[in-house]
Amino acid sequence: MADAGSIDTLVWCPTSGERRGLHWADGSIRERAQGAPTIGLPEGACAVPGLIDGHLHLILGGLGLEMLDLASCTSRAEVERRVRARHATLEPGRWLLAQGWNEDRWGGEQPTAAWFDGLGDRNVVAWRMDHHACVVSRTVMARLDLSSTPGGGEIVRDAAGSPTGLLREAAAWHIAKPAIPAPSVDGRRRALDAAVRHLHALGVTGVGSMEYGVDLEHVLAPCRHDLPLRMAVTLLDRDWPLDVTQGVSFERTDRLWVVGYKSFIDGTLGSRTARMHAPYADEPSTRGLWTELAAEGLLRDWAEHVLANGLSPSMHAIGDAALTAALDALERDERRVGRIEHAQTARAEDIARCAGRIISMQPLHKADDAPSAPSRLGASRMDRFFRFRDFARAGARLVFGSDWPIVTCCPMAGMRAAITGIDRIGAVVVPEQSLTPTEALTAYTHEAARALGFPAGCGTLQAGAPADLTILDRDPRSADWVHAPPRVLMTIVGGEIVHRSS
C-alpha cells in the first residue's frame, strides 16, 4: 500500500478530540491501516487537521512571488532604491511590478510617479499593500486615459489638478490594471505551482481562493484531478447582470470546485475607503466609498441571484456600514451560505445579526491595520475593531484566512495575531477580542471546510475523513504564542506527504 501511512505522535483535532497515533490508506483516515509504514516524527510533535486558508488569491499570490516586495520599506528613499535595483536587473521592455508599500510606514506621504523618475522608458506599477491603490510611473501614465474617473474610484491630483500617478480603488483596477500586460497561461500555471509549494511549506492543505473565470478555465480546470491541495474557488467575475453558467456547471472534484461569486461593497480602512456609518476621525469629510454593485444599489439583487443558483455570495465588507449592507443583502439567505469577508469593524446591533452567519476574517489584517486604526476610527470607535470574540459569542461561524498576497499566508502567524492580539509593531490591540488556540484552529480548519464546501470530513481527523494533516513541532494548546509559535514539520494532502521541513 504505497499511499498508506501512520504516525504515532500526539494527534489533536478541535472537533474529535485528542489521541495518540493516526493511520491512513487510500487517501483517507482509518481506524487501522494494515501494513502502513510509520513516519518518524520528533518527540513533542502534534498533528492537527490540515490547515485551510479561507480567503486568498492563489494565482495572484504565485505571480506576486515574482514581484518586487516593498512591504518592509520605511522611507521614500528605500522604495526608490529598491525599485532602481530591480530596474537594473530587468530586461528592457519588461514591466517592473511591485507590491506591498504602505505610506503609514513612512509618515503618510503619498507616493507619486516622480518616485520612479530616472528609469528611462521602464513602465512601473506599484500596488499598495491592500491592492486597493497603485502608483504608476510617468511612462505608464502616458498610456492611460486619465480624463474621467470611474465610479467608486479616485485619480489623485496635485494642487494644480494634474494626476500624480496614484490611483485608488476602481481607478486602479479599471484604468491601470488593464494596461499591464497579462502573464501568459504558462506563466500563470507556473505561478500556480509556485503558490502551491509556498503554501505546503506553511502547512496549508486547502484554500478558498478568489479567481477569475478565465483562470478557472485555462489554468485550474486542467489540474482538477491532481491539484496537490484542495481549492474552493470564488469567482471574481462581476459583470451585471451576472452570468453564473460557469460556476453552476463546473464539474467538481475532491480537489477543485466553485463555491460562489464575489462582490466588493467598499474599500479599506488604510486608504479611508471602507464605508463607515460615521466620518473618519482623521478625515471628517469622508465616510469612505460604496463600490461596484453596492454603489449602484444592486447588491441585494446580486446576492439573491447567486443564492438562487445554489452558490455562495461572498461580500467584501470592511467598514461598519458595509457590514450592515452585507447583512441586509443576505436577509433571505435561509441556508446561511453567504460569506461576509473581512468584517473589520462592526456595530453591536450588527454583531447580533451575525448568528449562524459565515464571517470570514483575516487576523493578520488586524495586525497590519491596528497601528493606524485609532487615528482612522477615533478612540471611541476602537471597540468596533476586529471583534473576533464578540462574533464568536454571538454564534457567528468564524473562518480565518490571510488574503494573501496582501499579507503573508502563514497560518501560524495568523493564529498568533488572533490569539495574542499583537500587531505588526508589537503592541497588543483590543486583547478582549483575542481567541483561544482551539477557537483559532477551528476557524482555520473545521469552520473553513464547512463554509467553503470541502469534501465531507475535511477539517477534522475522524475516521473516514480525507487524510489532510499538518504536523507541528509542538502542541498549539500549550505553545508560547508570543515568543515561540509552533512550526510546521510536515504537510500531508490526501495521505501524500507534500512538504517535509528540512
Nearer to Zn ion, 333 or 403 (CB): 403
**Minimal distance in Å, beta carbon 55 to Zn ion?**
6
Q: Which residue is nearest to Zn ion (CB)?
A: 403
In sequence order, which ranges of 320-457 are alpha helices (DSSP H)? Answer: 320-329, 348-352, 363-369, 373-377, 388-393, 411-420, 437-444, 446-451
Q: How far lies 381's CA from each of 271, 280, 295, 334, 339, in Å?
A: 17, 10, 25, 31, 24
Closer of 202 and 406 to Zn ion (Cβ): 406
Window of 225-233, 330-338, 403-411, 414-422 that interacts with Zn ion by CB under 5 A: 403-411
Measured from the CB atom, the residue of 116 and 264 that comes closer to Zn ion is 264
**Residue 263 beta carbon to Zn ion: minimum distance, rounded to whole angstroms:** 12
Q: How many CA atoms lie within 13 A of 404 on its CB side?
A: 29
The size of the chain, in residues, is 502
Q: Which is nearer to Zn ion, 82 or 342 (CB)?
A: 342
266 vs 403, which CB is nearer to Zn ion?
403
Cβ 265 to Zn ion shortest distance, Å: 13
In the numeric block, the cell 474617473 is attached to 149
Rg (CA), the chain: 22
**Residue 344-383 contact track with Zn ion, rule CB under 5 A, x = bound:** ----------------------------------------
Q: Is 130 in the site for Zn ion (CB under 5 A)?
A: no
Cβ-based nearer residue to Zn ion, 300 or 342:
342
Residues contacting 279, CB < 8 A, separation 6+: 285, 286, 287
Does 403 contact Zn ion by CB under 5 A? yes
Q: What is the residue type of 193?
A: D
What is Dmax (Cα atoms) for the chain?
77
> Backbone phi, then psi, for 262, in 5-degree steps?
-115, 145
Helix (H) or strand (E) holding 100: strand 96-101
Query: Backbone phi, then psi, for 18, in 5-degree steps?
Result: -110, 145
Q: Measured between alpha carbons, how far is 217 from 244 in angstroms, rounded to an integer?
A: 14
Size of the site for Zn ion (CB under 5 A): 1
- Strand partners for 20: 10
Compute the least distance from the CB of residue 99 to Zn ion, in Å. Answer: 13
Compare residues 399 and 469 and give the one whose CB is closer to Zn ion.
399
Least distance in Å: CB of 238 to Zn ion? 13
Give residue for cell 476621525.
281
User: Nearest approach, Cβ of 267 to Zn ion (angstroms)?
Assistant: 12
Q: Which stretch binds Zn ion (CB under 5 A): 198-206, 257-265, 401-409, 447-455?
A: 401-409
- Can you read off the three cell numbers belonging to residue 356? 449562524
Stretch that binds Zn ion, among 187-195, 396-404, 412-420, 452-460 (CB under 5 A): 396-404
User: Which stretches of the chain bind Zn ion, using CB under 5 A?
Assistant: 403
